[in-house]
C-alpha cells in the first residue's frame, strides 16, 4: 500500500532545530534593490504526480490573470516524480509566458543535499521559464534555515538569488549562508512556531524580518495567505484568519516588501489554496474539506491589490462593482458525529461570522440575511471594504443596492448547518 504522506508546510514546531547563532563579523552580500515588484505563489508539486504540461498551463494562465508572476515549486527529494514534474513546470512556464522557481522543501531535503540541489539549479537557472530577480535565478525553501547556498552559487555559472524561508528573524540579518534575502512563513496570527493566537493579523513578524534584513542589505519576501485550517490525525488545527483574505493585502500596500509569496496556489491540505480545486491532483485525504469549497473568488480581491502593490500605490483601484463572501459550513460549537479526530485546536478562538468584501466604484448599501437571523444592512464606501455579520444556520443572502436599486446579490453557494459528520473549518468562497 502506498504510504500517503501528509504534505507540509506549516509544521514549523516539528522542524525548528533552533537556527545556529549568528557568527560575529558575518560577511553579507549586499543585494541590489530591485526596481520591480513581483508576486509569486506557493505550488505543491508533491500532489501533482500525474499533471500534464496542459494542466500546468491551465494553472499558470489563471495565475497570470490575477497578476501573479511566478509559482514557487515546493518539491520533495523523496518523490519519484519530482524531476519529471519540474521539467513539465518549466516547459509549461515557457509556453504560458509565466515563470517558476524552485522552493526546496527541507522537511525532505537536508544540508547534505548540496550536490543534488546544485545539479538541479544548473539545469534550470538560465531556463526561459526560470524566474529571475536582479538578473539572477531566484531559489527558495520551506525551512532549511542553515543550508549554505555559497557552494551552490559557486558551482552554477548563472547567478543565483537565494531567498530561503527562515524561522528566526534575527538569523535572517546575520546568516552567512550565502542568502540574498529571506522568506517568512508567519502568514497567520501566531506568537511563533505554530502557536495560535487571536487575530487580527499584525505585521510584527514582518517588521522583525525587515529590520534585520534591511540592516544587512537583503530583501524580504513577505507571505500572504488567506486562510489556515487542517484536519489530519497528525495535524489538526486552525489559525484565526477571519478577514485575512483582505487585511493581509492592505498590509502589503503599506509595507511594500520587495517580493510577495502567496501561500498558496494549491495546498488543499491547509485550506489556503486560491487556485481552482483541480481534479487532477492526488488526494491526501483533504478532499473531505476542500472538494466542495471553492476559493477562486479570493483572487478577485487579490487582483487589484497586486496591481496596486506593483505600482507602489497605497490604495487599490476598483474598476467594477463586485462582492466576495466567505463562511464556514457550521458554527464552532457544533459537534461532528462521526469524526474520530475531534475538533481542531484553536477552534474556540474563531468567531461565528459571515465575511463580505465589497469592491465598489461608489458607496452602496450591503444587506445580508444569514440563516434565521433578521436581515442586517450597512452603508459601505467606495473601494474595498470587508464587513462581517453574525452567522445564522441556513442559507445566506447577499444584496448590494445603490439609489434604492439592487446592483448585485443572490444566495450563497453553501447552506450553513447545525450538524455535521466531520469537522470542516475551511470556508466556502463565492462572488456576485
The contact set with ligand NAG (CB under 6 A) reads 49-50, 52, 55, 168, 170, 278-280, 282
Residue number with CB closer to ligand NAG (61 or 282): 282
Closest residue to bound ligand NAG by CB: 282
Provide, rounded to whole angstroms, the least separation between the CB of residue 429 and ligand NAG. Answer: 18
Rg (CA), the chain: 21
Residue number with CB closer to ligand NAG (55 or 296): 55
Provide, rounded to whole angstroms, the least separation between the CB of residue 63 and ligand NAG. Answer: 15
Rounded CA-CA distance 146/175 in Å is: 8
Residue number with CB closer to ligand NAG (132 or 282): 282
Provide, rounded to whole angstroms, the least separation between the CB of residue 96 and ligand NAG. Answer: 15
Provide, rounded to whole angstroms, the least separation between the CB of residue 56 and ligand NAG. Answer: 11
User: CA 143, 146, 148 angle in degrees (round to 5)?
Assistant: 115
Residue number with CB closer to ligand NAG (277 or 395): 277
Contact call for residues 163 and 180 (beta carbons, < 8 A): yes
Exposure of 63 by Cβ count < 10 A (0-12 exposed, 13-18 middle, 19+ buried)? buried
Provide, rounded to whole angstroms, the least separation between the CB of residue 276 and ligand NAG. Answer: 7
φ/ψ of residue 119, rounded to 5: -70, -35
Residue number with CB closer to ligand NAG (141 or 174): 174
Provide, rounded to whole angstroms, the least separation between the CB of residue 52 and ligand NAG. Answer: 5
Residue number with CB closer to ligand NAG (49 or 296): 49
The closest of 304, 391, 343, 57 to 196, measured between CA atoms, is: 343
Q: Grid coordinates in use for 326?
A: 466567505
Provide, rounded to whole angstroms, the least separation between the CB of residue 207 and ligand NAG. Answer: 12
Q: Grid coordinates in use for 255?
A: 509595507
Report helix, strand or coil for 303.
helix
Residue number with CB closer to ligand NAG (77 or 170): 170
Rounded CA-CA distance 326/158 in Å is: 44
Going from the C-alpha of 427 to that of each of 93, 227, 320, the distances in angstroms are: 30, 9, 25
Residue number with CB closer to ligand NAG (105 or 168): 168
φ/ψ of residue 424, rounded to 5: -145, 110
Provide, rounded to whole angstroms, the least separation between the CB of residue 392 and ligand NAG. Answer: 33
Rounded CA-CA distance 133/38 in Å is: 9
The closest of 42, 320, 13, 400 to 196, measured between CA atoms, is: 13
Going from the C-alpha of 401 to that of each of 246, 386, 391, the distances in angstroms are: 22, 16, 22
Amino acid at each position: 500500500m502506498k504510504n500517503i504522506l501528509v504534505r507540509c508546510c506549516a509544521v514549523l514546531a516539528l522542524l525548528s532545530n533552533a537556527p545556529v547563532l549568528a557568527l560575529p563579523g558575518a560577511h553579507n552580500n549586499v543585494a541590489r534593490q530591485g526596481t520591480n515588484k513581483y508576486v509569486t505563489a506557493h505550488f505543491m508539486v508533491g500532489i501533482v504526480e500525474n499533471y500534464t504540461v496542459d494542466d500546468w498551463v491551465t494553472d499558470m494562465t489563471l495565475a497570470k490573470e490575477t497578476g501573479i508572476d511566478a509559482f514557487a515549486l515546493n518539491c520533495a527529494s523523496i518523490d519519484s516524480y519530482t524531476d519529471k514534474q519540474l521539467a513539465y513546470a518549466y516547459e509549461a512556464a515557457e509556453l504560458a509566458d509565466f515563470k517558476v522557481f524552485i522552493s526546496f522543501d527541507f522537511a525532505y531535503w537536508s544540508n547534505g543535499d548540496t550536490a543534488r540541489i546544485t545539479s538541479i539549479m544548473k539545469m534550470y537557472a538560465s531556463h526561459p521559464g526560470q524566474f529571475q530577480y536582479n538578473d539572477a535565478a531566484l531559489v527558495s525553501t520551506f525551512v532549511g534555515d542553515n543550508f549554505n547556498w555559497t557552494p551552490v552559487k559557486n558551482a552554477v555559472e548563472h547567478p543565483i538569488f537565494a531567498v530561503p524561508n527562515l524561522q528566526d528573524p534575527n538569523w535572517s540579518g546575520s546568516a552567512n549562508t550565502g542568502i540574498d534575502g529571506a522568506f517568512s512563513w508567519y502568514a497567520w496570527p501566531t506568537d511563533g512556531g505554530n502557536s495560535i493566537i487571536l487575530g487580527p493579523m499584525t505585521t510584527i513578524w514582518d517588521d522583525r524580518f525587515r529590520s534585520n534584513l534591511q540592516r544587512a542589505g537583503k530583501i524580504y519576501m513577505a507571505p500572504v495567505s488567506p486562510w489556515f485550517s487542517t484536519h489530519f490525525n497528525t495535524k489538526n488545527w486552525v489559525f484565526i484568519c477571519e478577514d485575512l483574505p483582505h487585511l493581509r493585502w492592505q498590509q502589503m500596500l503599506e509595507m511594500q516588501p520587495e517580493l510577495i509569496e502567496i501561500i498558496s496556489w494549491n495546498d488543499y491540505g491547509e485550506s489556503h489554496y486560491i487556485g481552482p480545486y483541480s481534479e487532477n491532483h492526488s488526494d491526501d485525504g483533504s478532499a473531505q474539506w476542500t472538494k466542495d469549497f471553492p476559493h477562486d473568488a479570493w483572487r478577485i480581491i487579490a487582483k487589484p491589490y497586486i496591481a496596486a502593490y506593483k505600482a507602489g500605490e497605497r490604495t487599490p483601484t476598483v474598476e467594477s462593482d463586485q462582492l466576495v463572501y466567505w463562511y464556514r459550513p457550521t458554527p464552532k460549537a457544533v459537534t461532528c458525529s462521526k469524526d474520530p479526530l475531534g475538533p481542531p485546536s484553536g477552534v474556540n478562538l474563531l468567531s461565528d461570522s459571515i465575511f463580505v468584501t465589497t469592491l465598489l466604484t461608489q458607496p452602496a448599501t450591503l444587506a445580508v440575511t444569514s440563516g434565521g437571523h433578521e436581515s442586517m444592512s450597512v452603508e459601505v464606501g467606495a473601494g474595498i471594504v470587508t464587513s462581517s455579520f453574525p452567522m445564522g444556520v441556513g442559507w445566506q443572502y447577499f444584496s448590494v443596492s445603490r439609489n434604492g436599486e439592487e446592483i448585485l446579490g443572490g444566495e450563497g453557494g453553501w447552506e450553513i448547518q447545525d450538524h455535521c459528520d466531520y469537522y470542516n473549518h475551511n470556508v466556502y468562497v463565492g462572488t456576485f
